[in-house]
Chains A and B, each alone.
Chain A
Amino acid sequence: MTHAGKNGPRVAVTGLGAVSGLGWGAEALWAGLRAGRTAIRLFERFDHSGHRTHLAAEAPEPPAGAVRDLPGGSRLSLADRFALFAALEAVAQAGLGASLANEEAGVYFGSSTGGMFESERFFSTFLGERRRYARLSSLAAQQVNSPGDAIARHLRITGPVQTVSSACASGALALGAALDAVRSGEVEMAVAGGSDSLCQLTYAGFNALRSVDERPCRPFRASREGMSFGEGAAVLVLERLDRALARGVEPLAVLDGAGASCDAYHMTAPEPTGTGAAAAMDQALRDAGLPPEAIDFVNAHATGTPLNDAAEWRALTQVFGERAAALPVTATKALIGHLLGSSGAIEAVATVLSLRHGELHPVPRAEEAQTGVDPELPVALVLDRPLSLEARTAVSTSLAFGGSNAALVFSRWATGQAA
């Protein structure tokens, strides 16, 4: 591929891990996505009877022995557990051992609320009349940086460890930072991704903004009324492509570019023309050394809110021109909800799996009466059944609260392909 090496060595994805409402593990994620099975339903993570809406894609109970049995597992927050499970899965797939102490490795992670779910238990007691019974120790591990730190601590990583908390772009921005760190030689290997659990703070907050749909979210549909929440984690192991091949590991895909921008427009509303989101995609393409024509599909941010989807469509038309309406688009949030700080990471995993399987996962049909997308946002949304597509390259977008945008460009890796 002639575009390789524009900004340094190409960077391979050699391991994937995921936890979502569709289950624990990347296989469970792909099986559910491919089947178009939504995990958004009534949930039990907390009492939501006083909230305006009542749906979320809650992660199921973990498989026996997963994470809780690790040292200190009982004190880990949910977000920590999701992160650790996904990291251990990804590292195992990358053919690495249980310790990365002897690797030049770093952790680049995203989280929006860290251990807020556990903090809320503390605060509900602390702010009430039973303050003296609030267990302060339960707050020790509830920092936003806790999931990334937990991975580094468990894998004995001694290189850079940093957590990005830029709302819904956190995971994608963390992957961008990891890409730069591997390219520049700051690390040989990056464990990158994001993790967030459901919590009342964000559930009530987005409901206060009236951004949450009372039904499962319907990205790009005329009837869309907002987002649905999800929870979970995703981790990708990144390393130089030549290094992965030299140690005999099959690359799953190549992360060829990353871009980021800010709308600098409004705290909650996207810039309506989509210029900021388009700038992030343009930058990612330039970073990858690829023209827009090289992109075969888009894993869109696609929250399902009226304003976000409209702005994203306009951004797609700016970047891809007349091709925008024909470019296959998939919307992972329709199946696993919005994972906030982890959404960019798990959608990166979905993008890699799509490239690897030669299929785009579908979005479930919203309702019988509605067969297509909003006529004002005529995206080529993959509906009902998977779309077979031997795609070469794809872009995944993340467009956050506060106007922070990020885009990632992944390329397919075919077995036996020359580096």
Chain B
Amino acid sequence: MSRTVLLTGLGTVGAFGCGGESLERALAEGTPSLSEVDRSAGYHLPEGARLACLVTVSLSEWLSPAEGRRMSPPSKLAVAASRMALRGAGLDSGSEGSEATAVFLSTAFGPSSNSEGMLKQIFLEGPEAVSPFLFTESVANAPAAQIAIANRARGPSVTVCQREAGPLLAVSQAAAAVASGRAERAFAGAVDEVSPLLHALLDRFGALARSGPDGDEIARPFDRRRCGFLAGEGATVLLLESAESVAARGAQAIARVLSWGSAFDPTAPVSDWGKGHDVLARGLRKCLGRAGIEPQAVDRIVSGASGSRAGDRLEALTLREALCGGNSPGGPGLPPVLTPKAVTGEYGGGLLGAAVLAAAGARFGATPGFAEPDPELDVVPHDGSALPPPSTVLVSSLAAGGAGAWLLLGAP
């Protein structure tokens, strides 16, 4: 069985605020919302990164205090986003619970502040000081479980951990479950928090943008001067449904999931980027081929480029190899390339939310921080000018460590 999979709901929360409209506004303005990271614990180097895309908005509209006190920060974000998705799809939270409703959620680092809290208790106070609450909400699948509990979703509950490729893999698995009939409806998305410790560790690995001679901390996807990404937290949860389910309740779909695929670059070192763009490009072409889509039919790219030096290079070479038939100068160019992680930050599912908005024809502003093309990459991201609505949107996200995942979205 292979059924048409439609996307009917978008819930998203991040530094930009709550909901698709807030994200759309932020993407149109092309400005990240940055906050100072708490450095009081002393984890950071003095010269290290200071800023991140942190959630500052209240979730009280989506979560009662009694619910929230039993949840880790990622669980709160994920449940709030799932309820937004449900409301956007015209469904009531809790009323649509079913064995046919699945949850596929990705997280790169899990509820890391609870794990940190537990480790402090173990090493500073002793193992018997460990709080059962912290443990319960330290497991990677806590946010997915809380979405299931909050929405009575009794279908498969799966948490995917595959770094930056995880969000697209989660949506892919959800789409596959709906297409095959394993689920009628699925919550699918991503969640992550940026704790001071995680921020400090990412910075010490040299992953984050720092201020320097070229300016303040800012992600510059595909720019010659790029030096790292902005860490971002938040959650994005999409509601996927079979076309039959959507038709039966007379609902409106936002987009159609046309295809999905993934690949692995075994040249990638642990937690770093490889040089296997040819292998990744083959995986991307396979993803296109599965839906019978020619490379030239892709008329919009929502790229996972984040400002990482090696990551953006691999992304550019992969896209050009798969869609332009190679990386020779003067060849055909890519369709308009959107780089939402420059606004939403890396992690927290901002890429997914932006992808859905792009498929729905939302306007994107200029890529923040981009001014100097990198001749090796030969990718100039979108300049903010008006674009016609796309017919086929390619969403791409490559992960440190070797994984890569793609999703193709089209009009419903």
By a beta-carbon cutoff of 8 Å, the part of chain A in contact with chain B is 7, 48, 50-52, 72, 75, 101, 106-107, 111-112, 114, 120, 123-124, 126-128, 131, 136, 139-141, 143-146, 149-150, 152-153, 155-167, 173, 177, 180, 184, 200-201, 203-209, 260-268, 276, 279, 283, 400-404, 406
Report B244-285 residues with CB < 8 Å from chain A CB.
Answer: 261-266, 268, 270-271, 276, 279, 282-283
A86 CA / B263 CA spacing, docked (Å) = 22
Cβ-based interface call for B169 (8 A):
yes
Chain-A contact segment, one of B22-30, B116-124, B312-320, B336-344: B116-124
Q: Are A207 and B162 in contact (CB under 8 A)?
A: no
A201 CA / B43 CA spacing, docked (Å) = 21
Q: Are A162 and B123 in contact (CB under 8 A)?
A: no
Q: Which residues of A contact B154 (CB under 8 A)?
A: 261-264, 276, 279
Cβ-based interface call for B146 (8 A):
yes
Chain A interface, DSSP helix/strand/loop, else mixed: mixed
- List 13 other contacts, CB 8 Å, given A159-B283, A161-B262, A260-B158: A48-B127, A141-B270, A143-B271, A144-B161, A149-B264, A149-B401, A167-B140, A173-B156, A200-B127, A201-B135, A264-B151, A279-B99, A403-B149
Q: Are A262 and B155 in contact (CB under 8 A)?
A: yes
By a beta-carbon cutoff of 8 Å, the part of chain B in contact with chain A is 42-43, 70, 97, 99, 102-103, 107, 110, 115-116, 118-124, 126-128, 130-132, 134-142, 144-146, 148-149, 151-163, 169, 173, 176, 180, 182, 201, 204-205, 261-266, 268, 270-271, 276, 279, 282-283, 401-403
Q: Are A201 and B118 in contact (CB under 8 A)?
A: yes
Chain B interface, DSSP helix/strand/loop, else mixed: mixed
Residue pairs across A and B with CB atoms within 8 Å: the count is 235
Q: Are A204 and B127 in contact (CB under 8 A)?
A: yes
Q: Which residues of A contact B102 (CB under 8 A)?
A: 260
Q: Are B141 and A404 in contact (CB under 8 A)?
A: yes
Q: Are A158 and B266 in contact (CB under 8 A)?
A: yes
Q: Are A204 and B270 in contact (CB under 8 A)?
A: no
CB < 8 Å neighbour of B139 from A7, A50, A265, A401: A401
Q: Which residues of B contact A160 (CB under 8 A)?
A: 261-264
A161 CA / B262 CA spacing, docked (Å) = 8
Q: Are B149 and A165 in contact (CB under 8 A)?
A: no
Q: Are A180 and B176 in contact (CB under 8 A)?
A: yes
Known: A145-B163, A157-B264, A402-B141. A166 touches B127 (CB 8 A): no
Q: Which residues of B contact A200 (CB under 8 A)?
A: 122, 127
Task: Report the minimal beta-carbon distance from B126 to chain A, rounded to whole angstroms.
Answer: 5
Task: Report the minimal beta-carbon distance from B104 to chain A, rounded to whole angstroms.
Answer: 10
A48 CA / B122 CA spacing, docked (Å) = 11
B264's closest neighbor in chain A, by CB?
A161
Q: Which residues of B contact A149 (CB under 8 A)?
A: 264, 270, 401-403
In the complex, the 6 A-B pairs of residues with the closest C-beta atoms, listed nearest first: A402-B145, A205-B135, A260-B156, A262-B157, A165-B140, A161-B264
Task: Report the minimal beta-carbon distance from A9 to chain B, rounded to whole angstroms.
Answer: 14
Q: Are A166 and B123 in contact (CB under 8 A)?
A: no
